[in-house]
Structure 1
Amino acid sequence: MMDIAIIEHGAALSLPLSSALGRAVAASRAVEAVLDPETPGRWWLKAAGKVGVATVTAPGGETLTVRITPKVPIRRLLFLLGYALDAKGWRDDDASLDAEPELLPALAHLFERQADRALRQGLLQGYRTTEETSLVMRGRLREADQIRRHHGEFPAVEIVHDEYTTDIAENRLLRTATDRLLRLPRVPKDLRGRLLRLHVRLADVTPIGRGHEPPTWRPTRLNVRYQPAVRLAELVLRGASVEHRPGDITVSGFLLDMAGVFEDFVTVALREALSTSSGYSMLQASHYLDEGHAIRIVPDFVHYTDDGTPHAVADAKYKAEKPAGFPDADLYQMLAYCTALRLADGHLIYAKGNAPHAAHRVRHTGITIHQHTLDLDQPPTTLLADVRALAGCFLPRTSRPEQRPVLSGNR
């Protein structure tokens, strides 16, 4: 078994890999892997926008574990994740894990701490609607199912009833996230012991089966103590979804897509920054580029006036810059957004690199496309202040009038 470490956006690493293992790593898409054309038996590996850890097993049993370290400090990354999950409830001291050099152990520590805090007063209970076939009548009879399945039979009855139980969505998410972390590599031994104790406390809760959608839950005053832990559980399950078997290749681990992390943070932070102003914001709202509603566009962030007229549009772009600066394709995309929404200004927001702020006025249109950067490697208070300053650019100018847009919902 080989274990390697690479850095996000760092230089490619040359490794001696068998043909089977090299192809397996390339097929996993955990990292970019290409055969070295000049040196037989060697492969070039480079981070592909994801951070975390993944173990790839080739058909013959050869195994490679890749640890991908993010460019930003682990504590800062946890802040970005936590703020996007719960902008009002997240505290930066929740991520005081500077001693952890890798993402997975840090996140596992944070989850275990929050879950333990949630369960100190015992498991939360609630009502769950259950449909079942029973020999005892309880709840309400499901007449249609009774006639279809048991016509002329006795005594089985199809019933539906509400059961007061610990087997609710919040506990199922905690149980499944705990189990998933216990299966992942590079979880420290002492932490694994604490996760096992969590598993015992949740032993009577039904885990979520593989391939099944996580159950839905909603924040209420009754589950306040659970909310940070449940949101982290959802994050763990999303990151651990890398576990799969493409053909004869086995991939397991925990990976986060940094583009998604950046987009979620920026759009939530913009929404919070504009929450005290007039109008409202939507994330991932659907509009159409053409009159026939055949070409769908989904900007990351749109702010509307109170009557539903688009007032500002933004897209978050966490990507490597080309040597000359920002990618031109982003400008074309934003031009389409501004044209469809009849806006005079569009905003592209990048994780800070080597390109400065830029503004491009498009010929014959009156549209100006702004390109902003956010420096993620700074204290949360400073970073959020930068987002508020950026959000201030959305307020003074007014778009050209248009009818209320067709929306498909909010993420």
Structure 2
Amino acid sequence: MRHVVVREHARLTTGRIDGAGSLDVASVPDSAFDWLCKESARLRAAGAPLVELHDRRWLRLDNYVGVIETPCGTRIEILPKAFDGADEAPRARALLRRMLSRCMEVKPRESGPASIETFDGPLTEWVMRQFLGALDGLVKRGLRFDYHAVREEQPYLRGRLEVGWQLRQPAGRAHLFQVEHDVFDADRPENRLLRAALDRVCRSAQHPDNWRLSRELATRLAEVPCSRNIAADFRRWRDDRLLAHYRPARPWCSLVLNEQSPLAFAGHWRGHSLLFPMEKLFERYVEVCLRRTLPAGTTLKRTPSSRYLCGHRSEQWFQLQPDFMAQRDGRRWVLDTKWKRLDAALDNSREKYGLKQADFYQLFAYGHHYLQGAGELLLVYPKTASLPQSLPAFDYSDTLRLWVVPFDLEQGRLESAPVGEAWPAAPAA
């Protein structure tokens, strides 16, 4: 299997590349190139193109991160474009795994930093490892059994006789009993989903540790039937205290089975591929980290949608949905995340740090409708070497101010923000 490592927005070609190549340029076989074109055309119809075709020899990847495995056996690992330097690939790979762990809300004792850093397999193998680890701990604590009714035909009487069914028996089957009884076993929605996910991992795992553990667990779950309706079983998944030890396994099970319950963006798994749109992953990661670091008394609301841009004939048009709204001691802040690299050195009226005018119009509308034109807005970008700290404030008016704030991806916190005494104060304009 050929393994190609690039980062988002990289260019792929079928020809030879001068030099050793880089994370921004790579060569793939003709079969992989053609498959990417066809797959992107299929996804484009759903509004989510995978690649952009530059010409007959070049493709440019979109902003997805993760792993793509083509039918010809080429594995393309796409990393976040967050670092520079010789160690960019290992740092980006560890960052992506850390972001997924945080977004899945996995506790450190279940997936600590050491396991994230030391496992050097591809992302799909790492996801399978997390699922198998959670399932192994669940099985050791014991599967949850339950009673369920069974109607069947038996040559002996067991449980309750179904009189109506029995009277309708043909004469040649009068010696058989139509009975209904309760069975106490592991055939319940949660276990059926875990068995379905385990079967998929058994077929896909290539890492020796994953292969061995998946086979061991398969023997423990051999008596559990596989789920026939994954969506319906996820809706019936219970989360009471008797199933508390099932909670760590659910997000990984959901991800393996291509369900989108643990994350609104969840991944796209086709065959052995697993992709995430980086904007949604960054937005979710910022939310989870903020909820951990915000001081007591501060509330964070995700995607408020109570305001509209304008009214028309007694109707409200163009709903305004910022990413977050924070509130503390009667003050409110509107936050919007943007996955883009800014450059603080581009401090001039022509390049404007790489900021987009449309984003400022968008935040201006948020400020007037959610803050009534008085307060502070935050545009959150990833922290990079070119954006180490907040930019000077942007003043819409004497009462409405916008801050461009970097978010430290490795530390999981805002570098500086004007959100009160518990957050570091932003630099003065």
| Shared fold per TM-score greater than 0.5 | yes
CA deviations 1:182-229 (Å, max 9, x no partner) are 344x73144123113223323344444577366144543322322222
Partner of 2:87: none
Distance 1:28 1:7, change over 3 A: farther
> Whose RCO is larger (CA < 8 A, sep 6+)?
1
Partner of 1:263: 283
Q: Measure, in 2, the Cα distance between the counterparts of 1:83 and 1:360.
A: 30
Cα root mean square deviation, aligned: 4.2
Q: Helix, strand or coil for the counterpart of 1:277?
A: coil
* 1:346 equivalent in alignment to 2:377: yes
AA at the equivalent of 1:303:
A
CA deviations 1:241-263 (Å, max 9, x no partner) are 432xxxxxxx6522233322221
Which structure has the larger Rg over C-alpha atoms? 2
Q: In the TM superposition, what are the counterparts of 1:142-161 in structure 2 within 5 Å?
A: none
Specify every segment of 5 or more residues in structure 1 that has no aligned partner in the other structure, as ranges.
142-149, 244-250, 397-411
Alignment partner of 1:13 out of 3, 26, 29: 26
Partner of 1:325: 354
AA at the equivalent of 1:311:
R
Alignment partner of 1:242 out of 269, 272, 295: 269
Shift of 1:320: 4.6
Shift of 1:76: 3.5
Partner of 2:336: 315
CA deviations 1:21-57 (Å, max 9, x no partner) are 45325436684252546xxxx33343x2222222334
8 A contact 1:311–1:394 mirrored in 2: no
Q: Helix, strand or coil for the counterpart of 1:197?
A: helix
Q: Measure, in 2, the Cα distance between the counterparts of 1:154 and 1:341.
A: 69
8 A contact 1:51–1:70 mirrored in 2: yes
Specify every segment of 5 or more residues in structure 2 that has no aligned partner in the other structure, as ranges.
10-22, 44-48, 82-90, 170-179, 259-265, 344-350, 424-429
Partner of 2:323: 300
Shift of 1:77: 2.9
269-278 or 205-214, larger mean C-alpha shift:
205-214
CA deviations 1:90-141 (Å, max 9, x no partner) are 666265241415322222222212210111022123567x8x98889999x9
Q: Measure, in 2, the Cα distance between the counterparts of 1:395 and 1:138.
A: 65
8 A contact 2:390–2:415 mirrored in 1: no
Shift of 1:282: 2.1
Q: Helix, strand or coil for the counterpart of 1:113?
A: helix
Q: Measure, in 2, the Cα distance between the counterparts of 1:90 and 1:392.
A: 31
CA deviations 1:63-88 (Å, max 9, x no partner) are 64322244544444333222233276
Q: Measure, in 2, the Cα distance between the counterparts of 1:101 and 1:177.
A: 20
Q: Measure, in 1, the Cα distance between the counterparts of 2:59 and 2:215.
A: 38
* 1:194 equivalent in alignment to 2:225: no
Distance 1:83 1:196, change over 3 A: same
8 A contact 2:381–2:406 mirrored in 1: yes
8 A contact 2:333–2:419 mirrored in 1: no
AA at the equivalent of 1:5:
V
8 A contact 2:364–2:396 mirrored in 1: no
Distance 1:102 1:208, change over 3 A: same
Distance 1:75 1:4, change over 3 A: closer
Q: Helix, strand or coil for the counterpart of 2:296?
A: coil
8 A contact 1:55–1:253 mirrored in 2: yes
